[in-house]
Amino acid sequence: MDYLISILIILLAIFVIKLVLIWVIFYADVRAAQKRDPAAKSFLEVILLYPGLHALIYHRIAHFFYRLKLFFLARALSQIARFFTGIEIHPGAIIGKRFFIDHGLGVVIGETAIVGDDVLLYQGATLGGTGIVQGKRHPTVGNNVVIGAGAKVLGNIVIGDNAYIGANAVVIKDVPPNSTVIGVPGRITKQDGKKMDISLDHARILDPIMQAIEELQDRVKNLEKK
Ligand SMILES: CC(C)(COP(=O)(O)OP(=O)(O)OC[C@H]1O[C@@H](n2cnc3c(N)ncnc32)[C@H](O)[C@@H]1OP(=O)(O)O)[C@@H](O)C(=O)NCCC(=O)NCCS
């Protein structure tokens, strides 16, 4: 009986030490999860029950081994995380501070993806490649970006700071900062707080004068019809 009690005490001690370590080492990530999810009630709930946080902790450790070129060990950790959380983050991906994956299931982040600080991903979001290309082939995501549920962001593209990728959007071209993108293929519906509707085409995004001229042409056409 004493033997059993000793084992239980040791297990409890390991559990408490693990909690404290997570709390101390991953404090910023835990706080981010708590801030980003209005449903999160307590620190303990986030640490114990949030698959997004668990996947991130596994990833931080896996990425450490990846940088030491211990690729097998890194990949093994990433697969364990995938088994338990349904979130697959390649150990090579570079993830910024205060990253949070809400709900989590089905999130995939590729090897050469780079994610900035304060980024939020919802379930089913993919930062993937477009085919079998070597080298940098996954997106670079800026700071403070939100990527909606089921959105697919593909290829070596750049998502600007503060961008909002709507649920189920498919994005294969660069997204300027402060924009909202929805649909398949993704199109910008808001930029710098102003509503608009333009396809993700670099020339048009970077040329607001052209856009204004096109709007005027449309108005002239309508007036001529009248
Ligand atoms: C895109 C998004 C950011 C909305 O941005 P918004 O600027 O507030 O846009 P609005 O709600 O004013 O909608 C603007 C238009 O886009 C449409 N729209 C909004 N989200 C859309 C989406 N994901 N796909 C397609 N159309 C969308 C709206 O119907 C509306 O169309 P309308 O102008 O013809 O009426 C948001 O709808 C979204 O997709 N967020 C992702 C959040 C998420 O994944 N949550 C999962 C939680 S589990």
| DSSP states along 36-81 | H-TT---HHHHHHH-HHHHHHHHHHHHHHHHHTT-HHHHHHHHHHH
Centre of ligand 1 from the C-alpha of residue 188, in Å:
11
Regarding the beta carbon of 183 and ligand 1, being less than 6 Å apart is answered yes
CB 55 within 8 A of CB 87: yes
Regarding the beta carbon of 158 and ligand 1, being less than 6 Å apart is answered no
Pocket test for ligand 1, best of 119, 189, 197 (most atoms within 8 A of CB): 189
The confidence score (pLDDT) of residue 37 equals: 86
CA distance 43 to 27: 10
Helix, strand, coil share of the chain (percent; to 5): 40, 20, 40
For atom 27 of ligand 1, the residue with the nearest CA is 182
Is pTM beyond 0.85 here?
A: no
The confidence score (pLDDT) of residue 208 equals: 64
The confidence score (pLDDT) of residue 198 equals: 67
CB 118 within 8 A of CB 101: no
Structure tokens at 210: 């052209």
Maximal C-alpha separation, the chain = 94
pLDDT along the chain (226 residues), means of 10: 85 83 83 86 86 93 96 96 96 95 94 95 94 88 96 95 95 93 90 73 57 86 90
The confidence score (pLDDT) of residue 159 equals: 96
CA distance 199 to 113: 24
Centre of ligand 1 from the C-alpha of residue 138, in Å:
25
The confidence score (pLDDT) of residue 202 equals: 46
Regarding the beta carbon of 66 and ligand 1, being less than 6 Å apart is answered no
Residue in the block written with tokens 């085919």: 131
Which atom of ligand 1 is the closest one to the Cα of 125?
44
Q: Comparing C-alpha atoms, which of 118, 117, 110 is closest to residue 92?
A: 110
For atom 13 of ligand 1, the residue with the nearest CA is 189
Regarding the beta carbon of 173 and ligand 1, being less than 6 Å apart is answered no
Cis peptide preceding 185, ω within 30 of 0 = yes
The confidence score (pLDDT) of residue 14 equals: 83
Distances (CA, A) of 117 to 28, 29, 131, 186: 11, 11, 27, 23
